[in-house]
Amino acid sequence: MDLVFLLKIVKKRLDKAGIPYMVSGGVAVSFWGFPRTTHDIDIVIEAQEKDKNKIIKIFEKDFYISDEAVEEAIKNRFTFNIIDNKSGLKIDFWLLKKDAFGKSEFSRKIKERMFGEDIFIISPEDLVLCKLMGFEETKSGRRLQDAKSILQTSRVDMKYIKSWAKKQGTIEILNDLLKD
């Protein structure tokens, strides 16, 4: 099983369970920017405590999933993962943040045709902003490369990006990136 096949399975299960989602991370970078290697799938979901058992039920048959990790992630708005029992491939689920940016990025998710499926994906602008914040936290050059590749290959609303970059304190990083 490969990541594409796995993404299709997970997307169908989330849709069936009524769990709103959007693809982010390396898969989204490869869609909006230059293709790059990724070893997992990052998906942002909107879930409440009442959704915990539903999430566990749709994945427990053929994925490793921890009840406690799901519960903690929902409670603390953080992350949990599932691991495919056959392939060992991993999906990281990130709970939607309830701050202004989290709400904005999730409301701006876009339905795109990916791998023969209609899949919700983070907007290129919000992905750039996530990469800028990630760089500020980790100083990982890969995050800047990702942001740059999106800016070079996708049409983006620079006014929106600059507005949020100012609010997030990443405007200097963005300006440096735009100079290169």
156 and 96 assigned to the same domain: no
The dihedral built from the CA positions of residue 31, 34, 38 and 44, taken in this order, carries a sign that is: negative
What would the mean pLDDT of 34-57 be, rounded to a whole number? 93
What would the mean pLDDT of 74-79 be, rounded to a whole number? 94
164 SS3 class:
helix
Boundary of a domain, candidates 82, 102, 122: 122
Domain span at 130: 123-179
Nearest of 44, 41, 38 to residue 19 by alpha carbon: 44
* Per-residue pLDDT, 37: 83
Query: Which residue has tokens 């902003």?
Result: 129
In this structure, are residues 145 and 135 in contact, taking their beta carbons and an 8 Å threshold?
A: no
Mean pLDDT check: name the lowest of 15-29, 61-75, 110-124, 132-146.
132-146
130 SS3 class:
helix
* Per-residue pLDDT, 125: 98
100 and 161 assigned to the same domain: no
5 and 61 assigned to the same domain: yes
For the segment 115-155, what is each residue's pLDDT rounded down to a tens digit?
899 999 999 999 999 999 999 888 888 899 999 999 999 99
107 and 21 assigned to the same domain: yes
Entry pTM: 0.93
What would the mean pLDDT of 160-167 be, rounded to a whole number? 97
Whether pLDDT at 1 is above 70: no
CA gap 23, 43 in Å, rounded = 5
16 and 104 assigned to the same domain: yes
* Per-residue pLDDT, 168: 94
Q: Is residue 53 very low, low, confident or very high in pLDDT (cuts 50, 70, 90)? A: very high
* Per-residue pLDDT, 35: 87
In the chain, the number of structural domains is 2
Percent of the chain with pLDDT over 70: 99
Whether pLDDT at 74 is above 80: yes
Boundary of a domain, candidates 74, 107, 122: 122
92 and 111 assigned to the same domain: yes
CA gap 38, 41 in Å, rounded = 8
Written as six digits, the tokens of 74 are 């929902």
136 and 115 assigned to the same domain: no
Q: Is residue 4 very low, low, confident or very high in pLDDT (cuts 50, 70, 90)? A: confident
CA gap 162, 48 in Å, rounded = 32
32 and 118 assigned to the same domain: yes
* Per-residue pLDDT, 164: 97
